[in-house]
Structure 1
Amino acid sequence: MKRERRTWWQRVILLSISAFLLFLAQPKISWDPLIWIGLIPFFLSIEDTKWWKAILYGELFGTIYFVLNMYWVAGVITRELPSVIRHASGELGILPFILLCAIEGISLALFAFIYWMIRRWIRSKLWSVMAIASSWVLIEYVRGFGQLGFTGGRLSDAIYKRIGLIQTMSFTGIWFILFLIVLINAIFFFILKSSSFSLLKKCTFIIGVF
């Protein structure tokens, strides 16, 4: 059996970094260049591991990301809970908030499983990055489908100030933007994994793009 290159805690650190980078890219803080590289640590965290571990890491990543991105919901729930449930402490509102984020995190767990299958079965890097980006878009579509759908925390929210880029939404909706964001993250990820250049040159190249 092939030994995993990273320990579980290293993977947890990587996916936590990824969730934090994506949070920084979102509106309010709006360090939007991070959206183009924020998924790279997450990809690393689910690389070269078992399928069920990839699902768990994906769920944890999703939960952390939505906790960070929807922090304001926790304030609303804790403030309003006593008026809905008599004698209930407002602090108990943290529990349904965490549950909400965990439910939303299921979409990232599903993506992690699909990512695992792509990396296992598709050898071409070109088709891999296309499949990775396409699967993210498909999952986002399903996540927002129907009356119970939820669209909060989409990566496309981060580029709201990029007028030239968001004008494409009049033709493609948000789907092209989501595809492009994940595609570029995946391309940079494969560049970092390439053995052709030193780590310093790889990082210099990616930083130079921005």
Structure 2
Amino acid sequence: MHPLMRLRPALLAASLLVAAPAAAQAQRLSLTSTDLSRETKIGNRHVFNGFGCSGQNVSPQLAWKNAPAGTKSFAITAYDPDAPTGSGWWHWVVYDIPATTTALPSGAGSTTPAALPAGAVQGTTDFGAKGYGGPCPPPGDKPHRYIFTVHALKVAKLDVPATATAAMIGFNINANRLASATLTARYGR
């Protein structure tokens, strides 16, 4: 057998290994927003109204695509790792979002149940209330990062009590996550 004929299977296998990650990457869960950008400061419309901040406290529009096979529900979290608490700050936690949902409109995080898809539940944030709580870092801090994450879950419903903390909900999200995608925006004052 000619030496090049022996190399052919190895070259074919190598080319498949290179092509497979590229194809998988093209189908990776992704998160976008018409209201948030990595390059600009979060607008006052999405800033908290309280604690010395005077925003409108409207949750941003979020959209996602390419959920993995087996996705039975989604969860959304918004977290500030830069909050001077020692443990960050949970700004928004929504779970049990139906698997057929691919976006939340601006304002979906209000406390009005009709603002979210049927069955979706909002958890208690570190503001001590359910629903979206926008950015409001201490004056003079460097701009904080606000990490919005969509989580594709392998369960239709998270088994958490209505009084669950954001940390407990986060634990259950992590235990049931198939994939996640993030969008990080910044805000300072």
**TM-score past 0.5 threshold:** no
Q: Which protein is bigger by CA-based radius of gyration?
A: 2
Where is the helix percentage greater, Structure 1 or Structure 2? 1
Relative contact order, CA 8 A, sep 6+: which one is greater? 2
Where is the strand percentage greater, Structure 1 or Structure 2? 2
* TM-score normalised by L of structure 1: 0.25
* TM-score normalised by L of structure 2: 0.27
